[in-house]
């Protein structure tokens, strides 16, 4: 899988636009009328205030405390960047806050404290306790992080969790459970070597000891070698707790005969010789970031039997904290926990390990472009797994209830699981899945309109995101000037600029097109002019001849005109079965509308074809299709000639015996709202439709643009389906990000 490249300009632009920072606060109650304001503030707010003062437990009922976590840092150990201070750490803490929201629907606010004094830090956090349901400490240097966490745990009655320590430890433990399962070893018999005695390393070894690893079998090393009993140099009380009686002095000595290596240290700390000296079926967790202590390739070159995990997403078995902290807090918050204890962390690790041993859902396989199954290259679930949200928090909550830290135990665990399933935004996981599939496909993407700065930014982003090679149709000097104007001058060397002057295939292209068009009123000169001068035609010719894998166009010209030009080269018309499907993403829902591109006024047979094409697009996106043929009438009322074809189209599908749900004709509210569907008990949809087949292209255009302007829906499309090549046509109002989304669709061959 290609590595992603992020440039400084892109990173700054991402944080600057559309507004500075990464999140905002939104009201969850109406705030429009005077009455609303009276209820939200004075005098209405006095009632819950008095209720909470009388019974503090009701704070969880009347405020957001129960779903609010503070991400707190003083910036003394920011990522791998060192002590950047409180202000310098704010972008990271904002990022952590949005990860909480994205993965577990936990509201989170970042707080940066301008002090390196543990007493002052603890005092500040303790005094903020009433506001939050939990505290996530982040990027605080060792050993202060141990002092701070320990004190806050003792002084506060809500969970306090230092993710750099325990987040890594939990995922590491989950992976180790499965690695030992594969190698048939027991944790109490294993010789474990840890390199790196900072926050994460010590937390890892402590958690493994609480899971049964024996103290004398665990050798901890730091930059000065083995931490042995009697060592005085570079020691502190947290290291001393893991000192053992041993004659071993170096990491190299310790690795001989070891079953497990855990690295939270530095690139290259482990040599192939050290790996060769380990026991049979060695387990190597090389978690240094961004580069591991030893790469999987280097380890496997000397030991084919090694099970290797890293902190990197471009290798199998990624130890990724995002598998842990969102779900740990979700489970802890939902029982109004007083703490996150070892039992809850172990329950999280065991639930993750169990999930990796189960059959992997199709959408995860699609995202990775290969069949994942439990084994040496898959011992930890992937962050794409949609089951994480409803499998991990219940295990954490149950452990919290069993150990007496729950203020409000969950009675109906099955009901709790169901509520978690509906809690997450499915659109986010669909988009992430498409991104991963595009990265696996490594398509050479042809961007036809290299004269447009938006297209150029999308092309650069496509390549730097690791999706594949960007081929831009344009003039070199023009592309260079426009990239420089956009602050992306260094990208000129990365992308490939293609045009009629620098290709050696112009004659081949002309011959091909002349054969196609000579009986349609085009002479050889017309054809040559089209091939050499029109970038849409030239790009289509490149695609037709395999000189690129997919094509994105349409940002600079109306889609009907672009389709007409492409049709000179590739069959992409109504007669050939082409259909346009637009995806609308709004408030966690995804609805496809068809046909939004090709058919002006389809008849019932066309509508049935459109439904089948749209169902194919839905499945490509990981959705189970439910089609509604929509109109202004529902099942024959009011009577109208114009609605007749919407009534007949489902009958055409009846005759075809298709394998997806469909129904019609019906109004949009009946299609999308299950309560409205209840009025028609005979109708065949088992839930809200996710595909709306509309009567004509004008109604499709009105609906999508209305949703975009009034509801601020994300619009992806129209996605061109039913064409032999992967082509996507953007709309002229597309942003660089919209064009990139269309390129991702094209790379995944959606449609």
Instruction: Tell me the residue length of the chain.
Output: 751
Query: Mean pLDDT, to the nearest integer, of 340-364?
Result: 93
| Second CATH level (architecture) for the domain 322-424 | 3-Layer(aba) Sandwich (3.40)
pLDDT by residue (tens digit) across 274-318? 999 999 999 999 999 889 999 999 999 999 999 999 998 889 999
pLDDT band at 390 (very low <50, low <70, confident <90, very high): very high
Domain 184-316 has CATH 3.40.50.720: yes
Query: Mean pLDDT, to the nearest integer, of 349-364?
Result: 90
Q: Looking at the domain 439-568, which fold is it?
A: Rossmann fold (3.40.50)
What is the rounded distance in angstroms from the CA atom of residue 484 to the CA atom of residue 443?
A: 26
Give the model's pLDDT for residue 640: 83
- pLDDT above 90 for 10: no
What single string gives the DSSP state of each residue in 694-730? -SSHHHHHHHHHHHHHHS--EEEEEEEES-SS-EEE-
What is the rounded distance in angstroms from the CA atom of residue 91 to the CA atom of residue 76?
A: 14
- pLDDT above 80 for 368: no
pLDDT by residue (tens digit) across 149-205? 999 999 999 999 999 999 999 999 999 999 999 999 999 999 999 999 999 999 999
Residue 275's alpha-carbon distances to 194, 252, 287, 478, in angstroms, are 14, 9, 15, 53
Query: Mean pLDDT, to the nearest integer, of 407-412?
Result: 96
- Is residue 653 within 8 A of residue 609, CB to CB? The reply is no
Give the model's pLDDT for residue 425: 67
Binding site, annotated residues: 78-85, 138-139, 164, 289
- Nearest CA to 728 out of 542, 552, 470 is that of 552
What is the rounded distance in angstroms from the CA atom of residue 134 to the CA atom of residue 111?
A: 13
The alpha-helical segments, DSSP class H, found in 521-603 are 524-533, 535-544, 559-566
Task: Please give the biggest Cα pair distance in the chain.
Answer: 94
Give the model's pLDDT for residue 434: 86
Query: Mean pLDDT, to the nearest integer, of 50-69?
Result: 97
Which two structure tokens, joined as six digits, stand for 166? 């325990």
Report how far apart the first and last C-alpha atoms of the chain are (Å, whole number): 24
Residue 245's Cβ-side half-sphere holds a number of Cα atoms within 13 Å equal to 0
pLDDT by residue (tens digit) across 461-488? 999 989 999 999 999 999 999 999 887 8
Query: Mean pLDDT, to the nearest integer, of 517-537?
Result: 93
Query: Mean pLDDT, to the nearest integer, of 606-619?
Result: 95
What is the rounded distance in angstroms from the CA atom of residue 653 to the CA atom of residue 661?
A: 10
What is the rounded distance in angstroms from the CA atom of residue 525 to the CA atom of residue 654?
A: 50
Q: Beta strand pairing status for 550-553 and 496-498?
A: unpaired
Of 65, 90, 96, 482, catalytic: 96
**CA angle (547 as vertex; 614, 536 as ends), nearest 5:** 65
Where are the chain's structural domains?
21-28+64-158, 184-316, 322-424, 439-568, 578-717
- Nearest CA to 234 out of 243, 242, 223 is that of 223
Give the model's pLDDT for residue 624: 92
Binding site, annotated residues for a divalent metal cation: 138-139, 164, 289
What is the rounded distance in angstroms from the CA atom of residue 706 to the CA atom of residue 180?
A: 56
Binding site, annotated residues for NADP(+): 78-85
Q: Most confidently modeled of 248-262, 519-533, 695-709, 734-748?
A: 248-262
- 578-717 maps to which CATH number? 3.40.50.10750
Burial-class residue 321 by CB neighbours within 10 Å (0-12, 13-18, 19+).
buried
Can you list the pairs that 675-680 forms with residues at least 24 positions away whose Cβ atoms lie under 8 Å? 680/634, 680/635
- pLDDT above 60 for 586: yes
pLDDT by residue (tens digit) across 249-266? 999 999 999 999 999 999
DSSP 228: B
DSSP 550: E
Which two structure tokens, joined as six digits, stand for 359? 């059959």
pLDDT by residue (tens digit) across 204-222? 999 999 999 999 999 999 9
pLDDT band at 734 (very low <50, low <70, confident <90, very high): confident
pLDDT band at 751 (very low <50, low <70, confident <90, very high): confident
Q: Beta strand pairing status for 626-630 and 225-226?
A: unpaired
Give the model's pLDDT for residue 365: 78
pLDDT by residue (tens digit) across 231-245? 999 999 999 999 999
- Nearest CA to 435 out of 138, 1, 98, 137 is that of 1
- What's the CATH class of domain 21-28+64-158? alpha beta
Q: Beta strand pairing status for 218-222 and 225-226?
A: antiparallel
Q: What percent of the chain has pLDDT over 90?
A: 79
pLDDT by residue (tens digit) across 326-335? 999 999 999 9
Residue 731's Cβ-side half-sphere holds a number of Cα atoms within 13 Å equal to 18
Q: What are phi and psi of 337, to 5 degrees?
A: -65, 150
Q: Do 322-424 and 439-568 fold alike per CATH?
A: yes
- pLDDT above 60 for 2: no
- pLDDT above 60 for 387: yes
To the question of pTM greater than 0.85 for the whole model, the response is: no
- Nearest CA to 272 out of 290, 248, 296 is that of 296
pLDDT band at 3 (very low <50, low <70, confident <90, very high): low
Quote the mean pLDDT of the chain. Answer: 93
Q: Which residue has the tokens 């490509």?
A: 620
What is the rounded distance in angstroms from the CA atom of residue 663 to the CA atom of residue 202?
A: 59
Q: Is 96 a catalytic residue?
A: yes
- pLDDT above 70 for 120: yes
């Amino acid at each position: 899988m290609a590595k992603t490249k992020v440039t400084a300009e892109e990173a700054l632009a991402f944080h600057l636009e559309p507004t500075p920072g990464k999140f905002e606060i939104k009201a969850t109650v109406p705030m429009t009328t005077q009455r609303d304001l009276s209820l939200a503030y004075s005098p209405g707010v006095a009632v819950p205030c008095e209720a909470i003062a009388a019974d503090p437990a009701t704070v969880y009922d009347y405020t957001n405390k129960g779903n609010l976590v503070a991400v707190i840092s003083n910036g003394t150990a920011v990522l791998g960047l060192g002590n950047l201070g409180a202000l310098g750490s704010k972008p990271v803490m904002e990022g952590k806050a949005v990860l909480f929201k994205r993965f577990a629907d936990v509201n989170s606010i970042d707080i940066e404290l301008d002090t390196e004094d543990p007493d002052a830090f603890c005092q500040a956090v303790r005094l903020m306790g009433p506001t939050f349901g939990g505290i996530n400490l982040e990027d605080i240097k060792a050993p202060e992080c141990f002092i701070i966490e320990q004190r806050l745990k003792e002084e506060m009655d809500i969970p306090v969790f230092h993710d750099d320590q325990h987040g890594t430890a939990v995922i590491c433990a989950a992976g180790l459970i499965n690695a030992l399962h594969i190698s048939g070893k027991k944790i109490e018999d294993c010789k474990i070597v840890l390199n790196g005695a900072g926050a994460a390393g010590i937390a890892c070894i402590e958690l493994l000891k609480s899971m049964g690893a024996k103290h004398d079998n665990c050798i901890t090393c730091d930059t000065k070698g083995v931490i042995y009993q009697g060592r005085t140099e570079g020691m502190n009380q947290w290291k001393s707790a893991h000192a053992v009686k041993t004659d071993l002095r170096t990491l190299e000595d310790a690795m001989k005969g070891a079953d497990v290596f855990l690295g939270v240290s530095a690139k290259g700390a482990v040599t192939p010789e050290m790996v060769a000296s380990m026991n049979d079926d060695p387990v190597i967790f090389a978690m240094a970031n961004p580069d591991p202590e030893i790469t999987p390739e280097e380890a496997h070159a000397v030991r084919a039997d090694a099970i290797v995990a890293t902190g990197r997403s471009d290798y199998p078995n990624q130890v990724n904290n995002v598998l842990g902290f969102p779900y740990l807090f979700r489970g802890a918050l939902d029982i109004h926990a007083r703490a996150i204890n070892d039992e809850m962390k172990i329950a999280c690790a065991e639930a993750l390990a169990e999930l990796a041993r189960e059959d992997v859902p199709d959408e995860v396989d699609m995202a990775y472009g290969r069949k994942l199954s439990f084994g040496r290259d898959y011992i930890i679930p992937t962050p794409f797994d949609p089951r994480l949200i409803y499998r991990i928090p219940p295990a954490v909550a149950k452990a919290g209830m069993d150990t007496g830290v729950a203020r409000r135990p969950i009675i109906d665990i099955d009901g709790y699981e169901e509520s978690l399933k509906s809690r997450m935004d499915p659109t986010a996981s669909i988009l992430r899945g498409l991104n991963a599939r595009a990265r696996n496909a490594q398509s050479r993407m042809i961007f036809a309109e290299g004269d447009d700065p938006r297209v150029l930014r999308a092309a650069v982003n496509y390549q730097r995101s690791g999706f594949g090679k960007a081929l831009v149709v344009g003039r070199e000097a023009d592309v260079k000037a426009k990239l420089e104007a956009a602050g992306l001058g260094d990208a000129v060397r990365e992308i490939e600029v293609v045009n009629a002057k620098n290709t050696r295939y112009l004659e081949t292209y002309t011959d091909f097109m002349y054969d196609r068009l000579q009986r349609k009123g085009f002479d050889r000169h017309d054809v040559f002019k089209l091939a050499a001068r029109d970038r849409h035609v030239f790009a289509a010719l490149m695609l037709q001849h395999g000189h690129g894998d997919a094509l994105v166009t349409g940002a600079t010209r109306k889609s009907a005109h672009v389709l007409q030009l492409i049709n000179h080269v590739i069959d992409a018309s109504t007669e050939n079965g082409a259909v346009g499907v637009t995806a609308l993403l709004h408030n966690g829902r995804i609805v496809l509308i068809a046909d939004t591109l090709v058919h002006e006024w389809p008849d019932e047979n066309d509508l049935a074809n459109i439904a089948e094409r749209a169902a194919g697009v839905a499945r490509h996106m990981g959705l189970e299709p439910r089609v509604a043929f929509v109109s202004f009438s529902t099942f024959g009322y009011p009577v109208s000639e114009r609605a007749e074809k919407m009534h007949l189209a489902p009958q055409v599908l009846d005759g075809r015996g298709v394998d997806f749900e469909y129904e019609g004709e019906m109004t949009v509210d009946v299609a999308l709202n299950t309560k409205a569907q209840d009025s028609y008990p005979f109708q065949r949809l088992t839930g809200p439709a996710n595909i709306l087949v509309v009567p004509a292209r004008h109604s499709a255009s009105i609906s999508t643009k209305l949703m975009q302007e009034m509801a601020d829906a994300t619009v992806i499309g129209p996605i061109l389906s039913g064409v032999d090549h992967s082509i996507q046509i953007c709309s002229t109002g597309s942003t660089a990000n919209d064009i990139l989304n269309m390129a991702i669709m094209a790379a995944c061959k959606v449609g």
